Amino acid sequence: MKVKAAAKINLALDVTGKLPNGYHAIESVFQTVGLYDEVSVELTDGGIELSCEVPHEFASADPIPCDERNIAYKAAKLFFEENGMDCGCRIHIKKGIPSQAGMGGGSTDAAAVLYCLGELTGKSVSKPEKLGADVPFFLTGGTAYVEGIGERITPAADYSGRILVIAKGREGVSTAEAYRNVDSLEAPQHPETQKLAEAIENAPDTAYRYFGNLFEQAVKLPEVDDIRDNMLKAHALSAVMTGSGSAVFGLFMSRGMAESCAEKLRKLGFFAEVCETVAESFIIME
């Protein structure tokens, strides 16, 4: 079975506190977008094999482990262990989502493996969050209000079909370092996440006014500022970093304006793609 697995962006992302176990509580609006990895899964007699196809522009910046350290491999292992199955699988991932971008590229691959194995065997796993906080979201996709450490997911009004440019430089962000920087912020300005969720339902065309990300105050990368500035100069309605960085998304009124912006960003040496917000995580290819 082969699927396209969507990336996600955070239309808004706030950190609301630190839990006793060291994790941080968040409030966020997650949105799947039409930037995809391709994931194929084939059942075998035993063992888990994983191969990866990584574009040079990604590989040079962000090495992606293509062995048992990869979250997609861990997903297959969890699936077989939890269901007491002695078969195995062959997984191939063709990357289209940059890593260290705040777009859940690894988590969507893991969710895709769980989805494919579920379709192929009729079984499932009870706690996909064991693999990572974003994995449960990718099993549904679309637009969602997310709380806790990412495990409390409430579907929100559909926000698909919006035109975006997603861009990223060569710099990546360590999530752990980003959270440490958030902890040390003095008098941070918190995005209005709840108001965004309400606006998406009641006034979607103006919801962009509530886009925001607390991590922009904690993660200072010149490339992020440069990309955001260029998007706004190209008439983006809003331009915001996603996750803990370092990709930036810009919302545009028309595809023509978005294409023009993406072309300019590519000339400046950035990864830049035009896509839309989408309502589902997976597109079945074969």
Q: How far apart are CA 163 and CA 237, in angstroms?
A: 11
Instruction: Please enumerate in sequence order all residues whose Cβ is within 8 A of that of 207, keeping only pairs 6 or more positions apart, or say none.
Output: 11, 159, 196, 199, 200
- Any binding-site annotation on 104? yes
Q: Among 14, 37, 109, 134, which one carries the catalytic annotation?
A: 134
- Any binding-site annotation on 106? yes
Does residue 134 have an active-site annotation?
yes
Q: How far apart are CA 250 and CA 227, in angstroms?
A: 9
Tokens representing 88 are 């195995």
- Any binding-site annotation on 102? yes
- Any binding-site annotation on 101? yes
Asked if 102 and 242 touch (Cβ cutoff 8 Å), the reply is: yes
Asked if 41 and 1 touch (Cβ cutoff 8 Å), the reply is: yes
The rounded Cα 267 to chain-centroid distance in angstroms is 25
Q: Give phi and psi for 217, each to the nearest 5.
A: -80, -20
- Any binding-site annotation on 6? no
DSSP 208: G
Q: Among 4, 8, 95, 168, which one carries the catalytic annotation?
A: 8
E strand intervals along the chain: 2-18, 24-44, 48-53, 88-94, 143-148, 152-155, 163-168, 212-213, 238-241, 248-252, 271-276, 282-284
Q: Give phi and psi for 45, each to the nearest 5.
A: -70, -25
Asked if 280 and 112 touch (Cβ cutoff 8 Å), the reply is: no
Question: Residue for token digits 């482990």?
Answer: 65
Q: How far apart are CA 61 and CA 170, in angstroms?
A: 6
Does residue 109 have an active-site annotation?
no
Residues noted as catalytic:
8, 134
Binding residues: 98-108
Binding residues for ATP: 98-108
